[in-house]
Chain A
Amino acid sequence: MRTVTRGPAVPAAFAAALLTALAARAGEAAPRRPAERLGPPPPPRPARVVSLAPSLTDTVLALGEGARLVGVTRYDTAPAVKDLPRVGGFLDPSPEVVLGLRPDLVLWLTDAGAWPAVRRIAELGVPVLAIPVVGVPDVLASARLVGEALGAPEAGERLARSLGAAVADAERRAASLPRRRVLIVIGRDPLVVAGPGSYPDALLRIAGGENVVRGDRPWPVYALERAVADDPELVLDAAVNEPPETVLRLSAIPAVRAGRVVRLPDDRVLRPGPELPRALAELLSAVHPEAARP
């Protein structure tokens, strides 16, 4: 059979592609994938490490190996790395600056935006450890992975265990408490919330909360009237880079009007990394103020 392509074929192909895109579901598009090594194998104890994500920087610091870092992103705020060279951002690391630091290991939080740059870095002979971090199990796994890659597997194991213990502790404490219905606000204008499949959603579940947001998108732009109809018992204000009083723009939500708003102290707690215990403590005391103190 011969396929004849004529004029209408092009618009038809566009339409098909758009329909396929419509059918794509964000939740399913983030499957758990294993960590990957790109480029040549790293030395057993890398001495010059570049971190391409603040949460991975935090992990290296938590392992007590901060002295081996030679470069971090421009979003890194930890005091221990404030004098280190910046290699660009999350989406736009500069391969030239990374190579110029002569790293023997690059830690990368898997992210499609930086993929061409990271692939090139690996092709040019720099060992890259690509770590996917989506959920809480990934945070524990990444502590072990970074520990192993730095030649400090015991420290990695210790960190992973202590993070695991914090999760188990929070779950145990939340188990006997009523589940509260919570809305997690990530951005105000437009209203962006943490949906199912996002890291804050996973933390909330551990801390005995129930996300009022349904659906399959981890970071949906949310209609304010839906938030009103959801009628959460508590609004968790994670938009910490905006002034606190601007949450009043959401005062159509009954919980905001009634002052049932808890603001997170900083945006580091929601980084999927060693801040996990602090994040769980914050969420636990926000969701269950009556029972949070041990």
Chain B
Amino acid sequence: MRPAGLRPGWALAAGIAALVAAFALALVLGPQPVSIRAALAGAEPDRAILFGLRLPRAALGALVGAALAAAGVALQALLRNPLADPFVLGVSGGAALGGTAVLAASAAIGAATPLGALAGSGSAVAIGASAGAAASTALVFALGRVGGRLVPEAALLVGVVFNAFAAGVVTLVKVMVPPEQAARMLYWLMGALGYASGGALAAGAVLVTASLAALAVLSGQLNLLSLGDEEAASLGVEVGRARGAVFLAASAATGAAVALAGMVGFVGLIVPHFLRRAFGPDHRLLVPAAALFGAAFLLLADLAARLAFLSLGSEPPVGALTALAGGPFFLWLLRRTERGG
């Protein structure tokens, strides 16, 4: 059943248009007025602000938004519950834990050359975060089983509890590391789109693109998996293998997103929900659409964060804004789901 019968081609075209528009806005607007014409002519500081600051940051935001929204769609299909989001399910928490552990280790090992160690640790943090995301996904789905069946509510609870646990361990690590390292961790974990080095951005792009491609390939099986394990198996899906592959791709996407931008929550909840309402439940369309609209969504949220600088004299991390919107949204969705609506 497709509620609002938009054709897939149109849906993707709308996604691309949204992404292009959001990207353009992210380039044009910011705390500092710049002239595009001057920037193109090579005038400073317009050129540096436009191409050196806003362009890489917009690319970062697009990558993170695409990864989180697509991971949300995949996790919701596996859990057969619209409340599954990488943040709520504890996958982001696991990624933060993994990344923090690597950061703490780098503080301990590279203490003699802090600048060098910090600069070089971007990919190490990404690997740690992805490993943490994979481990926590496995944990949530293993402990979310009751009598051999995956119970969405149980998995969500495990995720919530695991998040609290991860937050506790991260706090503990923060107390143990030197203050300047702790400050860096805090800012990273708040979920800020900052100024990742070119290398980290490229590594993140490769990881996100690969996992999005994997999810797109798996999207046909996601349709069957979302019917339930037995039904999927009876339709010829190798449930264990397919689910494992989706786990891995969603974890890698979330890990890369967390390594690049920390804990940005609820993108994977808000975006897929509206897409399902607009385009229907077909995952072959939902996965690419979530990537496109997720990227656009986070770009706009980050734009709001940057423009807040004008009034606050400081930039709130974009994670604070998505949580501000996402928390109430989650509760609303929870009430709706309870009523079976």
Q: For the complex, count residues of B whose C-beta is within 8 A of A.
A: 53
- Report the nearest B residue to A28, measured CB to CB: B111
Residue A111, interface by CB 8 Å: yes
Q: A29-B111, A102-B45, A116-B195 are in contact. Are A219 and B31 (CB under 8 A)?
A: no
Residue B97, interface by CB 8 Å: yes
Q: For the complex, count residues of A whose C-beta is within 8 A of B.
A: 47
Which of B147-155, B181-189, B241-249, B333-341 lies at the interface?
Answer: B181-189
Shortest beta-carbon distance from B191 to chain A in Å = 13
Q: A24-B178, A113-B180, A117-B194 are in contact. Are A17 and B314 (CB under 8 A)?
A: no
The reply to whether B195 and A117 form a contact with Cβ atoms under 8 Å apart is yes
The reply to whether A123 and B52 form a contact with Cβ atoms under 8 Å apart is yes
Residues of B164-199 at the interface with A, using a CB-CB cut-off of 8 Å, are 169, 173, 175-181, 183-184, 187, 192, 194-197
Contacts of A124 in B (CB 8 A): 48, 52-53
Which of A84-92, A202-210, A236-244, A271-279 lies at the interface?
Answer: A84-92
Residue A11, interface by CB 8 Å: yes
Shortest beta-carbon distance from A54 to chain B in Å = 15
Shortest beta-carbon distance from A73 to chain B in Å = 10
Residue B104, interface by CB 8 Å: yes
The reply to whether B179 and A218 form a contact with Cβ atoms under 8 Å apart is yes
Contacts of B119 in A (CB 8 A): 115, 119
Give bound CA distance, A111 to B182, whole Å: 11
Residues of B295-341 at the interface with A, using a CB-CB cut-off of 8 Å, are 306, 309, 313-315
Residues of B88-126 at the interface with A, using a CB-CB cut-off of 8 Å, are 97-98, 101-102, 104-105, 107-109, 111-112, 114-115, 118-119
Q: A113-B187, A120-B53 are in contact. Are A20 and B131 (CB under 8 A)?
A: no
Give bound CA distance, A112 to B182, whole Å: 9
Residue B135, interface by CB 8 Å: yes
The reply to whether A99 and B104 form a contact with Cβ atoms under 8 Å apart is no
The reply to whether A89 and B314 form a contact with Cβ atoms under 8 Å apart is yes
The reply to whether B184 and A113 form a contact with Cβ atoms under 8 Å apart is yes
Shortest beta-carbon distance from A201 to chain B in Å = 14
The reply to whether B187 and A20 form a contact with Cβ atoms under 8 Å apart is no
The B contact surface, by secondary structure, is helix
Q: A111-B180, A111-B183 are in contact. Are A96 and B114 (CB under 8 A)?
A: no
Q: A29-B111, A88-B314, A119-B195 are in contact. Are A96 and B53 (CB under 8 A)?
A: yes
The reply to whether B104 and A115 form a contact with Cβ atoms under 8 Å apart is no
Shortest beta-carbon distance from B130 to chain A in Å = 10
- Report the nearest B residue to A86, measured CB to CB: B313
**B179 contact from A20, A24, A26, Cβ within 8 A:** A26
Give bound CA distance, A115 to B103, whole Å: 14
- Report the nearest B residue to A113, measured CB to CB: B183
Give bound CA distance, A221 to B32, whole Å: 40
Residue B230, interface by CB 8 Å: no
- Report the nearest A residue to B200, measured CB to CB: A116
Residue B30, interface by CB 8 Å: yes
The reply to whether B118 and A112 form a contact with Cβ atoms under 8 Å apart is yes
Residues of A13-56 at the interface with B, using a CB-CB cut-off of 8 Å, are 13-14, 16-18, 20-24, 26, 28-31, 33, 36
* 10 A-B pairs in the complex with CB atoms less than 8 angstroms apart: A16-B105, A17-B128, A24-B104, A24-B177, A24-B178, A29-B177, A91-B183, A100-B31, A115-B115, A124-B53
* Chain B residues packing against A (C-beta within 8 Å): 30-32, 34, 44-45, 48-49, 52-54, 97-98, 101-102, 104-105, 107-109, 111-112, 114-115, 118-119, 128, 131-132, 134-135, 169, 173, 175-181, 183-184, 187, 192, 194-197, 306, 309, 313-315
Given A18-B169, A91-B184, A96-B53, 9 more A-B residue pairs with CB atoms under 8 Å apart are A18-B173, A21-B176, A92-B315, A94-B309, A96-B49, A99-B53, A102-B45, A112-B180, A125-B44
